[in-house]
Amino acid sequence: MRKFKTTIVVRIDDINYGGHMGNDRYLTFFHEARLRFFKVLGFSEMDIGDGTSLTQAEAFISYKAEVFSGDRLEIGVFIDQISGLRFRVMYEMTRESDKKIVAHGYTLMVGFDYQLRKAKKIPQVFKQKVEAYAGDIVNENP
């Protein structure tokens, strides 16, 4: 299985009063990595095919090490499950300087129709592109 990979540099405004990256910023970095991945596939969160958008239903983060301003973080992204209305996006965040995994987690994304305000099935075209990219079910540095 091939993973998408992208690099994000930690800025001073990502740092909290404890002198390390704030816990909320990890989810923001996951979000940015997911957007970059979708762009490589030719999609956005507002259009994954057939007029289907996305909404986030769940998030999980496991913090493994402190992160500091100036750290370059490589974020690996892949989709491990697509079923019906939803799919799970997995993330692994590694500090480039020491190759240490600093966090990992997932977000559960649900197909959504914002005009009707209801869940919508994940389109086949999205599934096909994800599978073609991954070689099975998801890598690239934009």
In this structure, are residues 8 and 141 in contact, taking their beta carbons and an 8 Å threshold?
Answer: no
Fold held by 4-134: Thiol Ester Dehydrase; Chain A (3.10.129)
Rounded CA-CA distance 48/26 in Å is 24
pTM over 0.85: yes
Can you give the residue ranges of every domain in the chain? 4-134
Residue by residue, pLDDT tens for the chain (142 residues) are: 678 999 999 999 999 999 999 999 999 999 999 999 999 999 999 999 999 999 999 999 999 999 999 999 999 999 988 999 999 999 999 999 999 999 999 999 999 999 999 999 999 999 999 999 987 443 333 3
